[in-house]
């Protein structure tokens, strides 16, 4: 091929290439401009995210968040360097990584800040709870070694929580504070139950003191030496119960009180019954009903309802005034106060079975009637004088209970049932010798 022919062929090849280049060059320049614009916008968005993260992280004490932010800033610096050298695609990739790392740093800072705030809240709440519990124990004179151990363990956990918070380990600090709160709640529950137990023991001690005093009066007659011996034993048991109560050994005190009550019942069996209409008998009946209401208010170890306690306090005041009036010879006033106290106690007796229904009352009447039949068999063979009159009085209360129930007066019925049941139980104690 000669030179002319080769030039002609080269011309035919170069002309199409020139045409293609002429057509594609503007598109390439446009693509480059578009990439540059996208990279610049991406870098600006990342700068905004990093700026927001900085403001939050500066207020946080999270070292992890600071390290993550430093990594984001490093990636952003590389992204800007690639942009300056027209590596737009690389710049967009780097700034996207920087933006993601900045968001991660922001999340770490917020999470640590939330842990810190939660830890402060839980720790402060637990400290206040422990302080209030300690005050309640002092005010109520409650002694409970197990509760004190729980409180001490809670304080130790709070100290460890504070140390971890100072070292910026907020998650661990919050966990320790939460465990301390759980221990404080357990201590509160234990102290609450102990206070109920202590209050019940104190009430029963007060009642026993009155009953022993009356038993002494009933045993003054000649020939009552066996009853006086039993009363002396009961007095020793009562003193032991007081000592145990003062020492904070409430459950042991309760057992000593129960032994004292049993001994005192034995002394009563050795004494003749008071006449059916005797004022002292009515007064003791009122005290038994008051004690029953107190037991109801704190049964199952649950805190007593303040309204129920108020009702019981009102009845207790009336019974004591009745006792003073009867002692001063004001019989009418004393008997009126006893009747009013029994009426007041009906509200407390209602708690014995929760919400009272007619069906529940009728069932309880049937139960007391069964107790009556069992007691009647004992009473028929009982040599104690006055048992017949006592049976008649119990039957009268049972009859009133049924009348009240049939008329819809359920609270009054519940109170009469409680009195009848107590009287039948007393007859059983007197005759079971």
Tell me the pLDDT tens digit for each residue of 338-355: 888 877 776 666 554 455
pLDDT at 300: 43
Angle made by CA atoms 363, 366, 370, in degrees to the nearest 5: 140
pLDDT of 243 over the 80 cut: yes
The residue with tokens 């007095």 is 235
pLDDT at 297: 61
User: CB burial class (10 A; 0-12, 13-18, 19+) of residue 20?
Assistant: exposed
pLDDT of 206 over the 90 cut: no
CA distance 129 to 137: 12
Share of the chain above pLDDT 70, in %: 79
User: CB burial class (10 A; 0-12, 13-18, 19+) of residue 65?
Assistant: buried
CA distance 114 to 356: 50
Q: State pLDDT tens for residues 246-297.
A: 888 887 888 888 888 778 767 766 655 545 446 666 776 777 677 667 666 6
Q: Mean per-residue pLDDT for 99-116? A: 77
Q: Mean per-residue pLDDT for 138-152? A: 86
Kindly report the average pLDDT of the chain as a whole number: 77
Q: State pLDDT tens for residues 365-419.
A: 888 888 888 788 777 777 766 777 788 888 888 888 888 888 888 877 877 887 8
Q: Which structure tokens are listed for 283?
A: 């007064």
């Amino acid at each position: 091929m000669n030179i002319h022919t080769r030039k002609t062929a080269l011309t035919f090849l170069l002309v199409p290439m020139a045409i293609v280049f002429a057509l594609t060059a503007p598109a390439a320049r446009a693509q480059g401009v578009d990439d540059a614009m996208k990279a610049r916008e991406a870098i600006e968005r990342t700068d905004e995210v990093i700026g927001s993260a900085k403001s939050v992280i500066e207020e946080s004490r999270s070292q992890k968040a600071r390290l993550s932010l430093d990594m984001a800033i490093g990636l952003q610096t590389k992204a800007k360097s690639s942009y300056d050298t027209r590596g737009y695609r690389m710049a967009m990739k780097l700034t996207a990584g920087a933006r993601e790392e900045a968001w991660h740093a922001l999340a770490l800072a917020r999470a640590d800040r939330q842990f810190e705030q939660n830890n402060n809240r839980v720790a402060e709440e637990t400290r206040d709870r422990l302080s209030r519990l300690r005050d309640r124990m002092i005010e109520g004179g409650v002694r409970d070694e197990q509760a004190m151990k729980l409180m001490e363990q809670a304080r130790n956990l709070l100290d460890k929580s504070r140390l971890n918070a100072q070292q910026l380990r907020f998650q661990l600090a919050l966990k320790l504070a939460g465990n301390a709160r759980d221990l404080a709640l357990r201590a509160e529950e234990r102290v609450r139950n102990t206070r109920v137990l202590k209050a019940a023991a104190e009430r029963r001690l007060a009642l026993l003191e009155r009953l022993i005093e009356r038993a002494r009066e009933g045993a003054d007659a000649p020939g009552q030496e066996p009853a006086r011996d039993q009363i002396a034993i009961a007095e020793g048991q009562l003193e032991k119960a007081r000592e145990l109560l003062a020492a904070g050994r409430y459950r042991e005190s309760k057992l000593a009180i129960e032994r004292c009550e049993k001994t005192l019942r034995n002394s009563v069996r050795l004494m003749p019954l008071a006449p059916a209409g005797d004022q002292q008998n009515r007064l003791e009946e009122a005290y038994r009903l008051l004690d029953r209401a107190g037991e109801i208010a704190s049964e199952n170890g649950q805190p007593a309802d303040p309204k129920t306690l108020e009702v019981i306090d009102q009845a207790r005041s009336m019974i004591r005034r009745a006792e003073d009036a009867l002692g001063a010879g004001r019989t009418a006033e004393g008997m009126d106060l006893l009747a009013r106290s029994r009426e007041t106690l009906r509200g407390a007796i209602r708690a014995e079975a929760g919400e009272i229904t007619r069906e529940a009352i009728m069932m309880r009447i049937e139960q007391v009637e069964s107790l009556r039949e069992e007691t009647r068999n004992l009473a028929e063979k009982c040599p104690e004088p006055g048992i017949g009159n006592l049976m008649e009085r119990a039957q009268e209360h049972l009859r009133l209970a049924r009348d009240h129930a049939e008329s819809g007066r359920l609270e009054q019925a519940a109170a009469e049932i409680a009195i009848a049941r107590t009287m039948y139980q007393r007859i059983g104690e007197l005759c079971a010798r």
